[in-house]
Amino acid sequence: MQEVSTMAANLIGSEIIKLGAEITKRIREGQSIYNLTIGDFDPSIFPIPERLRDLIIEAYTKGETNYPPADGVPELKKAVQSFIESKQGISFGDDELLIAGGGRPIIHAIYQTLVDPGDEVIYPVPSWNNNHYCHLSGAVKREIQTRPEDGFLPTAAELKPHLKNAVILALCSPLNPTGTTFRKEQLLEICELVLEENKRRNRNQKPLYLLFDQIYWMLRVEGIEHINPLQLVPELKPFTVFVDGISKSLAATGVRVGWSLGPAPIINRMKSIIGHIGAWAPRAEQVATAAFLNERDAMDLYVHDIQEKLHNRLNTLSLGIENLKKKGFPVNCIQPEGAIYLSVQFALKGKRKPDGELIETTQDITDYLLNAAKLAVVPFTAFGCAPGTDWYRVSVGTLKQESISDLLDKLEKALEGIS
């Protein structure tokens, strides 16, 4: 007898959370490990803004503890509208904006609103969690394999053959897991394809919607511009749904305040779904976030500070990997551009460990890095890439700047041990 639904029986838990939990257990047991697996922040290294913390406490003290409105408290909606318009130059009305408990329920609600079982969803791999949202909604997934020379971002030419029957094209920039970003010309070509496809469709077909996850957009290295699809092709507004919030930009993953921007009919249905599952952002946190977004100088100062700290870590790691590559070790990386991630290649397959054992699989690489270098990182197989990949996500949200030298020394010693 099957005890649960077919969907639940075949649902795979988060590979990243599972790996992170295993590493955390080993650390609790006394092992010294650089745990760079989880896309989160160590609050002792990257605390949320002090002013935001005080505003949250103040909101609770004032009794902001009851249900919030289903689409968000009015003051936060107004603050988000003003913030996005000032920073990205695009405007949204009250009925085009939804507040929720972070990015995850928003993405889930987008899928549940737009996808019927059997509908096709396109997304590039590596990609965060789209495979699981496809499973939850019954979508047929069309995964587009990308290339390191393109920053693991899809090109218009790669996407074009697959658009005909899709209802969602899911994109993310800066991209989790790679930390790479779309360039203007690259994204423009894709946006024009989406618009062209929607013009081709008849009234009996669903539109092709662009799900654009920009949760990391404020965390960019100096000189990298965030490109918004509607800045390039304003006519895409009826077909674009955004995922955004403070989780990453304010190191506030546990505060759970996110928002979605999109066409009013879509946002209204998403509001109902969010309401039924109770995935609102807590009222006190909403009130506090509204106040902090309106304190623009404090907001800008914090974002500038966290950008600089993250860039220093990413850049130091990148330079260290490049130095190891110059020494002849089989490693490579892509120049960091944003988010909290560095894409690193450990081309160890076919090499032998010091004990003579052959490294044959991605799991073998992962295990060797963990045991020999005390380095825990996530292979791109956790983001949809085919088994056998030797590319990894390295997350710096829990990494101290002063620890990087020791990390690189341990990695070099481990690489010296292979042949």
Mean pLDDT for the stretch of residues 238-263: 98
Residue 157 lies in a domain: yes
Of 215 and 26, more confident: 215
Q: Is residue 1 domain-resident?
A: no
Contact between residue 291 and residue 73 where contact means Cβ atoms under 8 Å apart: no
Shared domain for 330 and 242, answered yes or no, is no
Residue 5: Cβ-neighbour burial (10 angstroms; 0-12, 13-18, 19+) = exposed
Indicate whether 248 belongs to any domain: yes
Q: What is the mean pLDDT of residues 54-69?
A: 98
d(CA 189, CA 138): 29
Looking at the structure, tell me whether residues 312 and 392 fall in a common domain: yes
The C-alpha atoms of residue 405 and residue 218 are separated, in whole angstroms, by: 27
Is 223 inside a domain boundary? yes
Instruction: Quote the Cα angle for 367-368-373, to 5°.
Output: 115
Q: Is residue 149 one of the residues assigned to a domain?
A: yes
Identify the band that residue 249 occupies on the pLDDT scale cut at 50, 70 and 90. Answer: very high
Query: Structurally, how many domains does the chain consist of?
Result: 2
Report pLDDT for 12: 86
Q: What is the rounded CA–CA span in Å between residue 23 and residue 19?
A: 6
Q: Are residues 108 and 23 in the same domain?
A: no
Over residues 376-385, mean pLDDT: 95
* φ, ψ of residue 174 in degrees (nearest 5): -55, 145
Return the pLDDT at 31. 87
Q: pTM to 2 decimals?
A: 0.96
For the segment 119-139, the average pLDDT, to the nearest whole number, is: 97
Domain boundary among 270, 295, 320: 295
Q: Are residues 141 and 286 in the same domain?
A: yes
Whether the Cβ atoms of residue 261 and residue 242 lie closer than 8 Å to each other: yes
Distance of CA 183 to the CA centre of its chain: 18
Report the percent of the chain where pLDDT is more than 70: 100
Q: pLDDT tens across 280-338, in order?
A: 999 999 999 999 999 999 999 999 999 999 999 999 999 999 999 999 999 999 999 99
Sign, CA dihedral 193-198-200-201, equals positive
Residue 257 shares a structural domain with residue 355: no
Q: 79 and 19 in one domain? A: no
Give the residue from 242, 262, 295 where a domain finishes. 295
Could you report the per-residue pLDDT of 77-120, keeping only the tens digit for each? Answer: 999 999 999 999 999 999 999 999 999 999 999 999 999 999 99
Q: Based on the domain organization, do 42 and 55 belong to the same domain?
A: no
Cα 242 to Cα 261: distance, rounded to the nearest angstrom: 5
Identify the pLDDT of residue 19: 80
d(CA 109, CA 137): 10
Task: Quick: pLDDT tens for 2-44.
Answer: 789 989 998 888 878 788 788 888 888 888 999 999 999 999 9
Poorest-pLDDT segment among 57-61, 262-266, 385-389: 385-389
* 379 and 266 belong to one structural domain: no
**What is the predicted pLDDT for the residue at 24?**
84
In a domain, 188, yes or no: yes
Residue range(s) defining the domain that contains residue 130? 51-295
pLDDT at 86: 97
Residues 35 and 62 occupy one common structural domain: no
Q: What is the mean pLDDT of residues 372-382?
A: 96
Q: How much is the average pLDDT of 236-263?
A: 98
Summary mean pLDDT of the chain: 96
pLDDT beyond 90 at 45: yes
For residues 168 and 270, membership in a common domain is answered with: yes
Which pLDDT belongs to residue 39? Answer: 93
Specify the CATH number for the domain of residue 312: 3.90.1150.10
DSSP E strands: which ranges in 285-390? Answer: 331-333, 341-346, 375-376, 378-379
CATH number, domain at 204?
Answer: 3.40.640.10
Length of the chain: 419
* CB-CB neighbours of 230 under 10 Å: 20
